[in-house]
Structures are given as structure tokens and as C-alpha cells.
Amino acid sequence: MLSRASHLGLAAAGLAIKDAGLSQDDMSSMNIGVCIGTTMGSVQTSEIINELMVLHGQIDFSKELLCQVPTHSTPSAVAKEFKLSGPHMMFSTACAAGNYAIGYGFDLIRLGRADSVIAGGSEPLSKVAFTGFNQFSAVAPEKCQPFDKNRKGMMVAEGAGILILESLERP
């Protein structure tokens, strides 16, 4: 059982791999890394565990649920799914996490530690994120109007964006 963050990351990575025209044979002969960023990791799994504890008094949890908690579960799931042997890293550095992941992926290629890197961000919707942005009055009171001069905030959502990074010298 994968976390929502891992599902989003896997789906986006699969699309990026398809768009890049990479086959499993191509990937098995390369040292491909995975760098993914997130605001808060797999916080929605912690929310599920908290709800089970508070509302249902449950203190014993399945191994599958507990394995979703570590932040590194998303890049690990991508590496496992696509049988990648390169380095993989998760960045949990708030809003800029995807940028950090792409920058680190660039460094892995530049330093010769990876031939290519699957890099980007994956963020599931969580109560914690919504509450945090709402606490700062950052959430729009009605609807999202990003290009309206009278806009009043943003909408919190989930999504993922993944790129395939490679050297210019790669054939």
C-alpha cells in the first residue's frame, strides 16, 4: 500500500518516462537517480494514524500504513517501480522542494553520479497544509482568481510535476 504522495509521484514519473521515450531496457542500462520534493512529506498518512488513534482508540497499525510515514517513501517507490539503481533522495523543504530536487538532480548528473535523473515534486492534499495556509489567511474565501486584480488568496490542491534530466552529451 502506497501513500497518496507516492501514487502522485509514480503517476507523474511514469508520464515523464513515457514522454522521454525511455523503455525499461534503456533504463536498466543506465544509472538513473530519483529526486522528488514535497512540502511536508507523507503528512496525510500521519493524519490517518492520528484519526485512528483519536477517534477509534487504535494503537496497533498495519505495517503497510507505517511504511508510508517516512518522507523518502515516494522516491523509493519510483525507484522500485522502474527498477532504478541510481541515487534517490526526497526533499521536504516547503514550497521550494521541487526546485531543490531538480537542482540536486542537475548536480548528480554534473558530478557524474547519475546518467539521468527523474526529478520534480509531488504533493498530496492534507488537512495540515490547508489549515496552515488558512491560518495565514492565504486561502481564497470564495474561488480562485489568480489573474484577477481583486484576487483574495489561493486554493490548496494536490498534484505532481516530474521531469527527466539528462546531460547535453547523452546520445
Residue-averaged pLDDT of the chain: 87
Burial letters 62-87, b for 16+ CB under 10 A, else e: eeeeeebbebbbbbbbbbebbebebb
With 80 as the cut, is the pLDDT of residue 3 above it? Answer: no
Q: Which domains does the chain have, with CATH numbers?
A: 4-166 (3.40.47.10)
Q: What pLDDT is recorded for position 119?
A: 98
Q: Which of 57-61, 71-75, 113-117 has the highest mean pLDDT?
A: 113-117
Residue 36 C-alpha cell reads as 522528488
Q: What band does 67 get if pLDDT is binned at 50, 70 and 90? A: low
pLDDT tens track for 83-114: 999 999 999 888 899 999 999 999 999 999 99
What is the mean pLDDT of the segment spanning 47-66? 79
Whether the pTM exceeds 0.85: the reply is: no
